[in-house]
Amino acid sequence: MDTLLTGLGKSAQTIGLVGPSVTDHPDLPALARKITEQGKKLSFSSLRMETLTDELVDLILQSGQKTLTVAVDAPSEKMRDVINKAATDDFIVEKCRFLTRKGILHLKIYSIIGLPLETEDDIDQFIRLVERVQEGYVEECRKLGRIGQLTIGLSPLVPKPGTPFQWHPMESVKSLKKKFARVRKALGKIPYLKMSFGSPNEAYLQTYLSRGDRNTQAFFKTYLNNGHDAKSALKEHPVDEYVYRQYEKNDYLPWDIVDHGYRENFLWEDYQRGLKAAHTPVCDTAICHICGLC
Ligand code: SF4
């Protein structure tokens, strides 16, 4: 790391740490300290709230960074159970207050939408959660005498191969748009709150490209020959059957030719666990053999 930082010289002002769960890295505080000591700004793709300690937030602020993106992962506590995340709404509200109090004035909260079993009730709970976070944010900013911006980011779930939701259909574009409209209507007039929504149409295309089989090449040929117009290529090659198909346990999936290294049935069992909103303990890499990768 030292060599890398020295090698970068003054050309890079910001060092971004990227990974599925960067804050779980045991040496993260030492690494963050080193980056800060070199006068670089620390940046993260997205952070898990429960791992944001006092020390780490201080280092982030010392580095000059005043913007953080934190994942709440799912709109409601029930949906967080479905994806095996433990954060409660109270915890999220308190953590956001803590971050604002510390001086993180630009806070972005990110969640997925369109998860299995999600209903309008989950969206209403998300709206209530955002209202509570915003109240806390404004209160803490008042005490500081400064204010920035709170941003809510929502992205539609794209069921990806090699994940427990690979069997699950994407939520319909129409239904996702309805949910976004519900959120926009409820939160649109709240001050200091910005909203950013992922495009359901883009998610539809992504899901097709993720779950498509060899017939995807016909779509690509049309797309490449029509000036890269995905919408009209999709009209010529209807793909609902790939995007909205519910696969069953014994179905042969187009990507089954790829060995991801999981033990047999692990992903299916995890999918079933999610559908029951049941928890599994956080894995300890020293002893865990749950998925078969270690
Ligand atoms: S075996 Fe356990 S620790 Fe290793 S990757 Fe799988 S879940 Fe994580």
Whether residue 41 is contained in a domain is answered as no
Q: How far is the CA of 294 from the centre of ligand 1 (A)?
A: 6
In a domain, 136, yes or no: yes
**What is the per-residue pLDDT for 9?**
64
Any domain includes 254: yes
In this prediction, residue 214 carries a pLDDT of: 93
* Sign of the torsion formed by the C-alpha atoms of 153, 156, 162 and 168: positive
Any domain includes 152: yes
Spell out the per-residue pLDDT of the chain, length 294, in tens: 666 666 666 778 888 888 777 777 778 888 888 888 888 888 887 777 877 888 888 988 888 888 888 889 999 999 999 998 889 999 999 999 999 999 999 999 999 999 999 999 999 999 999 999 999 999 999 999 999 999 999 999 999 999 999 999 999 999 999 999 999 999 999 999 999 999 999 999 999 999 999 999 999 999 999 999 999 999 999 999 999 999 999 999 999 999 989 998 999 999 999 999 887 777 777 788 888 888
Residue 160 sits in a domain whose CATH number is: 3.30.750.200
Spacing, Cα 35 to ligand 1 middle (Å):
29
Contact by Cβ (8 Å): 28, 1: no
User: What is the value of pTM for the model shown?
Assistant: 0.88
Q: How far is CA 201 from CA 2, 211, 234, 246, 257, in A?
A: 44, 15, 11, 19, 28
Look at residue 270 and tell me if it is in a domain: yes
Residue with CA closest to ligand 1 atom 4: 294
In which region does residue 227 sit, left (phi positive, over 0), alpha (psi from -120 to 50) or beta (all else)? left
Query: For the purposes of burial, counting CB atoms within 10 Å of the CB of 138, is it exposed (0-12), middle (13-18) or buried (19 or more)?
Result: middle
Q: Could you tell me if residue 286 is inside a domain?
A: no
Number of structural domains found in the chain? 1
pLDDT of residue 273: 92
- Residue 45 CA, chain-centre distance (Å), reads 10
Distance 265 CA to ligand 1 centre (A): 15
Cα distances (angstroms) measured from residue 190 to each of 54, 71, 150: 29, 21, 10
In whole angstroms, what is the distance from residue 98 CA to residue 39 CA?
25
In a domain, 37, yes or no: no
Residues in contact with ligand 1 by the CB-under-6-Å rule are 283, 285, 288-291, 293-294
Residue-number span of the structural domain to which 131 is assigned: 66-275
Query: Would you say residue 122 lies in a domain?
Result: yes
Q: What confidence score (pLDDT) does residue 1 get? A: 66
What angle, 0 to 180 degrees and rounded to 10, lies between the N-to-C axes of helices 28-37 and 54-62? 20
Q: Which atom of ligand 1 is nearest to the CA of 285?
A: 3
Residue 137 contacts by C-beta under 8 Å, 6 or more apart in sequence? Answer: 96, 97, 100, 107, 150, 192
